[in-house]
Every structure is written in C-alpha cells, then in structure tokens.
Amino acid sequence: MRGRDPSEPHRSATSLELLFDLCFVVAVAQASKSLHEALTHGDHGTGVLRFVLVFFTIWWAWMNFTWFASAYDPDDAPYRLTVLVQITGSLVLAAGVSRAFEDGDLRVITIGYVVLRTALAALWLRAARSDPARRRTTLRFALGVTACQVCWVGLLWLPASARLTGIVVMIVAEVAVPVWAQSAGMTPWHPRHIAERYELFTLIVLGESVAAATVAVRSAFDRHHGTGSLYAVAAGGLLMVYAMWWLYFAKPAHTLLATTHQAHRKRFTWAYGHYLIFASAAAEGAGLAAYADHVTRATDTSPIVAGAAVTLPAAVFLITVWAIHLRPHQTTAAERIPYPVAAVGILLAAASPAPALASGALLAALGVVATVERRRGGPRPDLTSA
C-alpha cells in the first residue's frame, strides 16, 4: 500500500467508493428524517443540536476515508474487505440515528462509528508498513484515530449532564488529528479525485433532499388534495435544489486543490467547510418537509419558524459554497457582493407567504449571475497543469 501518484492521469472514483457513498446516504436519510420529525413536533432547539452532532459523525467518517483512499488505494482483496467493514459500520451507525434523536441514546451510533474508524486505523497501520517515507504521518493517523475511538466508548459512561461537553471535546479532538498527523508530512492525495468525490457526495445529499421533500409534499397532497401553498412548496423546493446544484458546480473544485504549497495550507478550510455544505443540503429536505406539514396544519409551529426551517439551510449552503468554492475565483467586489446579499434576502424570506418559492427565486437569480460571470470571464486556466 504505497502512496499513489498525485498527478496520476484519468484518476476517478471507483465502484467501491460509489458503493461506500450510497451506503452512507442511508445514514444521511435517517438524520434528515429525524430532523424533520423534531421540527414537526416543535422540538427545534434539541432537534437541530442533535442533527448537527449526528451529522458530524456521518460526514467525518466519510471524509476521512475519502482522503485516505485518494492517497492509498491498492484495490486488492484486503483493502476491499476492510472497506466493506467500514460500510457495515456506516449501516450500524444509520440504525442508531433515530435512537440518538429520540432519547439521546448514543450506544448504537457509537458502535457503528467505532467499527468504521477502527477499520480505517487498520488501513493507516498497513500504509505505515508499506510507505516508509510517510511512516510518521500514517502512524500519527493510526494513533489519533484509535485514541479517539477509545474516548468515544468511554463517553457512554459519562453522566447525561456531562455528555454534551464530552461530545464537543471529542469533536475538537477528531478534527485536530489530521492537522497534527499531516504536520509531519502530507499524504499523496489526488486533486481531481478528491474534487470528484466531494462532487459526487454533494449530488447524493442533494438527491436525498429532493427525496425527503417529495415524500412529505406527496403526503400533504394526499391529506389535502392540493392547495396553492403546497404547490408553492413543491415548485420552490425543486427550484432551490436545481439552483443549489447549479451554483455548486459553477466552478471546478480541482483548480482550488492543485498540489501546490498554498493549496496544502488551504485544503483544510475547503475540506472542513464542506460539513456545512453537506449538512445544510440534508437539512433543506427536512425543512421543506416540515414546512409542508405546517401548510397542512399538521404542526402548530409559527409561520416564521416554519419558514426559517426552509430558508436557514439554504442561506448556510449558499454562503458556504460562495466562501470556499466560488469566492477564490472572484476578483472584483461586483462579483462577490450578490452572494452575501442574496443570503440575507433568503433569511428574510422566512417571513414571506412562500419562503421556498422566494428562496428558490433568489438562488436561481444567482445561478444566472454565475452563468453570466463565467461567460464574461472566458475559460479559466487549469491550475493543476501548471
């Protein structure tokens, strides 16, 4: 398991990586569904907090394997079997999501997470044996990941009053492991491969958002045989997801991840920032579903709070995509100003009679801006070929 060539031509996602993503979307779907139920039942604060924490475990496990596989992927039988163990862990994690939301029971989700991460630690140990030049980095990864899993298991025995503090401490520790490990040397990740992996997962999460909203709106139509407000939710939801896809793919990600010293320093911001992109995309489906319930009087939530469930995830998605994905390409204030202004407008749309439709219109308008900007600027240079 020696490090792969970061400039390897025609590097693309493997079928095993696609299977890995598709199985992870089960956990994403469970998190989105649980958030929808919490919002519908008026449990807004606790529901959002639990979604943020649960989604961290899903995203973090996915992201760490993604970067490992970009650097070390021999595609042999031991590697495949270890990845299948990780997939099994993701499904166990998904089975524990509803328990974590309903009563804060973290046992099942912790078991799934530990299975996932322990299998990854085993891969890091194999890489340490096979790649002497990066042994210090790979051993740090293996040690850091293993130590975190021991602490996660120990967290189950903490009293309930101290558990949230313990979780926050563990999240900080998890996030610090790659920074500490790669201070000893970078792994040989592939810019185009990483960009494709993130793009594919973005598509999967957006697809899950569409599925969650579709099921909820269809159920609302079945109960009320159609109203103008439900048509606005359906139309606005589709417009939002289409525009979110358009904006995310307006610029190529791999040009920001070119294997230069500057890109190595910035990649942590880009990689970690995608937590907000993925989480907000998943939360958008839950928000649209909760608003459909509000329209059909299935919940007593106030109109502004119900509207915020739609507009807040959209605004977070927009501002994060702009900050880490689009802004580095923009050179003038005229290019940059429309994005934060639109984000503010989307937040204010929570008070409108049709927040989904208003948010979708604003996002679509930005899609027009991005398209015009791209045509004016002409083709951008491919930084990875420099």
pTM of the model: 0.91
Would you state the pLDDT for residue 80? 96
Last residue of some domain: 153, 182, 211?
Answer: 182
User: Which domain range does residue 237 map to?
Assistant: 191-379
How distant is the alpha carbon of residue 68 from its chain centre? 17
105 C-beta neighbours (distance < 10 Å), count: 14
The predicted-structure confidence for 15-58, as pLDDT tens digits, reads as follows 999 999 999 999 999 999 999 999 988 888 889 999 999 999 99
Q: How many CB atoms lie within 10 A of CB 201?
A: 25
The end-to-end CA distance of the chain, in Å, is 28
Token pair listed for 129 = 């044996």
Based on the domain organization, do 79 and 161 belong to the same domain? yes
- The Cα 47–Cα 70 span in angstroms is 34
Indicate if 215 and 290 belong to the same structural domain.
yes
pLDDT tens sequence across 295-321: 887 667 788 999 999 999 999 999 999
- Burial of 94: CB neighbours in 10 Å, binned 0-12, 13-18, 19+: buried
Q: Which of 133, 152, 182 is the last residue of a domain?
A: 182
**Can you give the pLDDT at residue 310?**
94
The pLDDT value given to residue 40: 87
215 and 355 in a single domain? The answer is yes
Please give the Cα distance from 89 to 217 (Å, whole number): 32
What b/e string do you get for 150-186 counting C-beta neighbours within 10 Å, with b at 16 or more? eebeebeeeeeeeeeebbeebbeebeebbeebbeeeb
List the one residue out of 227, 243, 237, 216 whose CA is nearest residue 310. 237
What is the model's pLDDT at position 259?
47
Residue 330 has pLDDT above 90, yes or no: no
Same domain, 272 and 216: yes
Both 261 and 350 in one domain: the answer is: yes
> 382: pLDDT confidence band, cut at 50, 70 and 90?
very low
Of 141, 119, 124, 116, which Cα lies nearest the Cα of 57? Answer: 116
In contact, 293 and 212? CB cutoff 8 Å: no
243 and 374 in one domain? yes
In a domain, 386, yes or no: no
Residue 3 within any structural domain of the chain: no
Q: Tell me, what's the pLDDT at 143?
A: 97
Report the percentage of the chain scoring pLDDT > 90: 60
Do 238 and 211 lie in a common domain?
Answer: yes
Q: How many helices (H) and strands (E) does the chain have?
A: 13, 0
In a domain, residue 9? The reply is no
Residue 8 lies in a domain: no
Does 138 share its domain with 195? no
> Does residue 201 sit in the same domain as residue 167?
no
pLDDT at 215: 81
**Cα R_g (the chain), whole angstroms:** 21
User: 66-75, 212-221, 231-240 — which is least confidently predicted?
Assistant: 212-221
The answer, yes or no, to whether residue 287 has pLDDT greater than 60, is: yes
Amino acid identity, position 142:
A
Looking at the fold, whether 45 and 104 belong to one and the same domain comes out as yes
State how far Cα 262 lies from the chain centre.
24
Q: Mention every residue, 6+ apart, whose C-beta is less than 8 A from residue 224.
A: 230, 296
Whether the CB-CB separation of 257 and 270 falls below 8 Å is answered with yes
344-359: b (≥16 Cβ within 10 Å) or e: ebbbbbbeeebbbbbb
Residue 322 per-residue DSSP state: I
Query: Which of 36-45, 127-136, 280-289 shows the lowest mean pLDDT across its residues?
Result: 36-45
- For residues 201-222, average pLDDT: 84
Question: CA 152: distance to chain centroid?
Answer: 21
Average pLDDT over residues 370-374: 80
Same domain, 163 and 210: no
- What is the model's pLDDT at position 232? 87
Exposure string for 264-298, b = 16+ CB within 10 A, e = fewer? eeebeebbbebbbbbbbbbbbbbbbbbbbbbbbeb
Q: Based on the fold, state whether residues 141 and 253 are members of the same structural domain.
A: no
**Cα distance between residue 273 and residue 343, in whole Å:** 17
Last residue of a domain, one of 182, 217, 249: 182
- Write out pLDDT tens, residues 59-109: 999 999 999 999 999 999 999 999 999 999 999 999 999 988 888 889 999
Which tokens sit at 295? Answer: 């329209």
Does pLDDT of 261 surpass 50? Answer: no
Q: How far is CA 203 from the centre of its chain?
A: 10
The set of long-range contacts for 186-189, using a CB threshold of 8 Å and a minimum separation of 24, is 186/137, 186/264, 187/3, 187/67, 187/68, 187/70, 187/71, 187/72, 187/134, 187/137, 187/138, 188/3, 188/4, 188/5, 188/6, 188/71, 188/134, 189/6, 189/67, 189/70, 189/71
Give how many domains the chain has, as a whole number.
2
**The Cα angle at residue 360 between residues 357 and 362, in degrees rounded to 5:** 110
CA distance 83 to 357: 41
**146 in a structural domain:** yes
For a pLDDT cut of 70, what percent of the chain falls above it?
Answer: 94
- Domain membership flag for residue 197: yes
